[in-house]
Amino acid sequence: MNRFGERIRTSSFTRQAHRLHDALQSIPTATKTQIRHGVGARHLTPEQAAQKFDLPLPIVNLLISS
């Protein structure tokens, strides 16, 4: 909705981006850091990190690449 109460159309890409942003924001910063450092230091594979922190693999891969 805009400031006049009119519904604003959003693309499916925009809605998906907002959902992804919300999902990333809901992950504690400490968890994000542990994933980045654990995978970066090769103590964990991305698959192991996803399993350990109970997160979907695409989210873990996104955290690693960011």
Q: What is the DSSP string of 6-18?
A: PPPP--HHHHHHH
HSE of 23, CA atoms in CB hemisphere, 13 A: 15
Which structure tokens are listed for 30?
Answer: 């400490």
pTM score: 0.68
- Alpha helical stretches, state H, the chain: 12-25, 29-40, 46-52, 57-65
- Name the residue ranges covered by the structural domains of the chain: 28-66
User: 12-25 and 57-65 helices cross at what angle (nearest 10)?
Assistant: 80
pLDDT in tens, the chain (66 residues): 667 777 777 788 888 888 888 988 999 999 999 998 988 778 889 999 999 999 999 999 988 887
